[in-house]
Structure 1
Amino acid sequence: MNTNKLVNVMSQDLSYCEPKLKNSFHSESKKVLKELSRILGIEKECKISSNKAGIACSGEISLHGDSIYIVISQFFGGEEVLYRGCDSRQNSVSTSARGHNQYCKITDLFTEHQLSKFKKLSRIN
């Protein structure tokens, strides 16, 4: 999937921005996460949600599956995607080592290397 449009939107500061820009960020992020869920084979078991939050931040868009949790946001560290294993859709954390936070860039989301990490966490091999 081409992530150029999302990368372009995220290259701009999404805090204190025009609502149109923030809406574009949330819309493009949902498209990316929907395609990712399809590739991982978890589109029927996951929920994709959006929290626009307040004006001072980008908000976040999340994919929450039975065993994987992925969030797109403008984080302070420059990484744009947080992901981790989780125990269920009712809980976004894991009691196992799979639950520690990991990060990647939007541009790496659909690389074979990153997809293999996601597949391992989502128990799809």
Structure 2
Amino acid sequence: MFDWNRSCSYDEQQKRRFHTTARSRLKKLAAELALPPGSYDLRSNKAGIAVSGEVTLHHDRAYIQVGQFGLSSGHGILIRTCKGRKDYTGGPNHFVALTMLDDIPALAAAVRAITGVGRGATIPADRRAA
């Protein structure tokens, strides 16, 4: 199992493994959510040597970003709503543990609960378009 909490700072091999593994898990998440091909982008930004960078799944209505920005809190997956793939600020930020990448069904459930996106999702009344 991948060690999500091992720092990528100044460790190019760890950063490469982090990005490769996170990208693979986000592809599995897209499949678990039954996102149609073409309805999302998957991108990777390795950033500088001192940080992990981030891997992002950007759907038409959900923005999911993985990084080591919350190592001290154990949180490293940002989930929020968005209005299209040009919306980079979106709705309120929600964070879950990086280790949820090891349990894709649980991560998919969190994404559905926060964004209303995915197979079997229902959109809460306060998030429906007027």
Q: Please, what TM-score do these two structures have when normalized by structure 2?
A: 0.78
Q: How many residue pairs were aligned?
A: 114
In the alignment, does 2:3 pair up with 1:32?
A: no
1:44-83 to 2 correspondences below 5 Å? 44=37, 45-76=39-70, 77-83=73-79
Q: Which residue of 2 aligns with 1:91?
A: 87
Q: Give structure 1 regions of 4+ aligned residues with deviation exceeding 4 angstroms.
A: 111-114
Q: Cα deviation per residue 1:22-72 (whole Å; 9 max; x = unaligned)?
A: 111000000000000111111511111000000010000000000000011
Percent same amino acid among aligned pairs?
Answer: 31
Aligned residues of 1:87 and 1:93 also touching (Cα < 8 A): no
RMSD between superposed Cα atoms in Å = 1.9
Residues 116, 13 of structure 1: alpha-carbon distance in 2 compared, 3 angstrom cutoff: closer
> Aligned partners of 1:11 and 1:118: how far apart in 2?
21
Residues 65, 52 of structure 1: alpha-carbon distance in 2 compared, 3 angstrom cutoff: same
Q: Which has the higher helix share?
A: 1
Aligned residues of 2:80 and 2:94 also touching (Cα < 8 A): yes
Q: Which runs of 5+ in 1 are unaligned?
A: none
Q: Which residue of 2 aligns with 1:23?
A: 16
Structure 1 residue 13 displacement after superposition: 1.5
Q: Which runs of 5+ in 2 are unaligned?
A: 122-130
Q: Which residue of 2 aligns with 1:108?
A: 100
- Three-state SS of the structure 1 residue aligned to 2:75 is coil
The amino acid that maps onto 1:60 is: E
